[in-house]
Amino acid sequence: MPYAYDPELLPWIETVPDLSIADIEQTRRDEAKMFGGMPEYVPPAPVETRDVTIPGPPGAPDVPLRVYAPANREGVLPGLVYLHPGGFVLGSIDMSEDDATRIAAEVGAVVVSVEYRLAPENPFPAGLEDCYAALTWTAAHATDLGIAPDRLAVGGESAGGGLSAAVALLARDRGGPPLCFQLLSVPELDDRLDTPSMRTFTDTPIWHRPNAELSWDYYLGKGVRGTEAVSPYAAPARAADLSGLPPAFITACEFDPLRDEALTYAQRLIQAGVPTEVHHYPGTFHGSTMITAASITNRMLADRSNALRRALHPTP
């Protein structure tokens, strides 16, 4: 069906990869090629990176991390545990290099990017527990990392946004590291797939209902999606109580099947007394920020950086 995309995105639509995760192995082989070719982000100031490996959850493999920090920093900085997108089945810290570098450089933060285990080989809760292990490790090593312990946040995009919401719930419920903020960019939150946007957008670029169905089936296991067996830590939209969570910044794209679950989650956070800023971007689609030449993309990225700066560098 036709969509009223932002005029600056239209010339690029044909270059956007026709992503299907029906053949997950083939999609993974093609992933770098599909999402490559876009201009590489050049930070305004040098950013240092280093790879570390930390102990995983009990009985699980170690978790690779990549730490980004402004090269010429002075004193301690806020920290962000960053969780990459990919529908729980794709993505990596390598594919999220630009986002993590941009946040470190423009926000002035130490970013800890997590190589969590992917489904279907490692279904829920494997990836989530890796992310939570990364959070607890980051908090425990805040001094060594140059992170202010009282300015630690979690954030991510798409599935990474959903995992970030789940990590915030776990931290609250397990008495884990206190979080000062959660960044939920176009988050994947609800396995029930029953919102108007999810029912309508079956043929949108990159992400559409057929991919959403497969994503949740891979993550939860076949036949679990939409049943009462689904944990709110897998699908945070199912959480009955959202009180006591950290302040949030949530984004939604107009022609994204995930649009309505993001907006509903934002509204529920507000109703639960959680300070929440929500942005809906007309004319955009899931993943359209890869088109960095568009003004709407620049505004979305600037809004994210500004929100993180306000949250992580609060004025007295």
Tens-digit pLDDT profile for residues 137-162 = 999 999 999 999 999 999 999 999 99
User: Rounded mean pLDDT of 268-276?
Assistant: 98
User: Rounded mean pLDDT of 221-225?
Assistant: 97
Residue 316 pLDDT > 90: no
pLDDT band (50, 70, 90) for residue 17 = confident
pLDDT digits (tens, 9 = 90+) for 33-73: 777 777 889 999 999 999 999 999 999 999 999 999 999 88
pLDDT digits (tens, 9 = 90+) for 105-121: 999 999 999 999 999 99
Backbone angles phi, psi at 78, to 5 degrees: -70, 165
d(CA 298, CA 249): 17
- The reply to whether 256 belongs to the active site is yes
pLDDT at position 65 is 98
Beta-carbon count within 10 A of 40 CB: 9
pLDDT at position 15 is 84
- The reply to whether 190 belongs to the active site is no
Catalytic residue among 6, 130, 190, 256: 256
pLDDT above 70 as % of the chain? 100
Catalytic residue among 92, 96, 113, 158: 158
- The reply to whether 158 belongs to the active site is yes
Residue 222 pLDDT > 90: yes
Catalytic residue among 6, 92, 197, 286: 286
pLDDT at position 237 is 98
Alpha helix locations (H) across the chain? Answer: 24-35, 97-103, 126-140, 142-145, 159-173, 196-200, 209-220, 259-271, 295-312
pLDDT at position 35 is 77
CB-based burial label for 162 (10 Å; 0-12, 13-18, 19+): buried
pLDDT digits (tens, 9 = 90+) for 78-93: 999 999 999 999 999 9
Sheet hosting strand 276-285, strand order edge to edge: 47-54, 63-70, 110-114, 77-83, 147-157, 181-185, 248-255, 276-285
